[in-house]
Amino acid sequence: MGKLHVETPAILSPSLTKLCGREVYLKLENLQPSGSFKLRGIGHLCEEARAAGCTEVVSSSGGNAGLAAAYAARSLQMSCTVFTPRSTPAMVVDKLRAEGADVQIVGKNWNEANEVAVERAKRPGCCFVHPYEHPTTWTGHSTLVTELQRQLPERPAAVLLSVGGGGLANGVIEGLHRVGWDDVPVVAAETQGADCFSKALEAGKPVSLPDITSLAKSLGALQVSSRLFESAQTRPVLSVVVSDRQAVEACTRLAEEHRLLVEPACGAALAPLYYGLLPAGVSARPGPLAVVVCGGSGVTPQMLIQWQQMTAV
């Protein structure tokens, strides 16, 4: 596996350690060159595609997956086309173009943009990059756990992360197995209105949300990965659903305490610590807590203030 991604630090959070009564480490994936953990898996997928002779990367993500694809393609001297819906913020479109991507704005939602992208990727020499549903991508994400094994003082009590489609969780579960930490719970946090994993557990099968109503648009998968649902049947994957307000407040506190600016989709993983929402099974386990600060480029100080106002009681 190449090194498009960087090894990120896992820093001890004094404020969260005091609040939780045990050591809390923040795995700072927001420091990846593309702005989020997505570069680990998507970079790995693009490297394999390049080695197989592909010359063009095609993505349907107008968000962090698209930015990771564009960065990887530029680094590997491949062309990149990103099909993104009309709802994509202009700021993100500008970032994609700054990375050298050819941005095509099509459709009113991700599903429509994805259909066009899939057709484009059928051309010779093209590699389609799904935002979260690919085994090679999961393997790339799993490198995060290999680093944690070296960085943490001992086996963690749990790993907290955000779930959108489930790609990060799939990678972390794969990584935990590789390092012999199969018993370590994964706390899968979602926001209300983007909680496709929680709804799948309730229904006993993956189901599609009718719409994404949460502010955490980066968690905006209508249906969770079937792999994650299957893993949750045999492994300790624990669902926690937080409100948009709790996710935004977690972002605000992270900015105040650690000078780090992240999206509400990332704040969802921190909210269980700030609001005492850890599952009982985790609270009883020894060891530190590890939180994946997954990052996200769709945020500015002004946007955070606006989200605070929108979610204020």
pLDDT tens figures, 166-213: 999 999 999 999 999 999 999 999 999 999 999 999 999 999 998 888
The CA distance from 274 to 251, in Å, is: 10
pLDDT tens figures, 23-66: 999 999 999 999 999 999 999 999 999 999 999 999 998 789 99
| Residue 2's pLDDT band (cuts 50, 70, 90) | low
The predicted structure's pLDDT at residue 248? 98
The predicted structure's pLDDT at residue 219? 73
Same fold, 10-37+135-311 and 38-129: yes
Instruction: Provide the CATH topology of domain 10-37+135-311.
Output: Rossmann fold (3.40.50)
| Residue 313's pLDDT band (cuts 50, 70, 90) | low
Instruction: Provide the CATH topology of domain 38-129.
Output: Rossmann fold (3.40.50)
pLDDT tens figures, 248-303: 999 999 999 999 999 999 999 999 999 999 998 898 899 999 999 999 888 999 99
pLDDT tens figures, 106-154: 987 777 888 999 999 999 999 999 989 999 999 999 999 999 999 999 9
The CA distance from 305 to 135, in Å, is: 37
The predicted structure's pLDDT at residue 1? 62
The predicted structure's pLDDT at residue 220? 74
Q: Where are the chain's structural domains?
A: 10-37+135-311, 38-129
The CA distance from 129 to 43, in Å, is: 10
pLDDT at 87 over 90: no
pLDDT tens figures, 210-259: 888 888 877 778 899 999 999 999 999 999 999 999 999 999 999 999 99
The predicted structure's pLDDT at residue 88? 82
| Residue 3's pLDDT band (cuts 50, 70, 90) | confident
The predicted structure's pLDDT at residue 49? 96
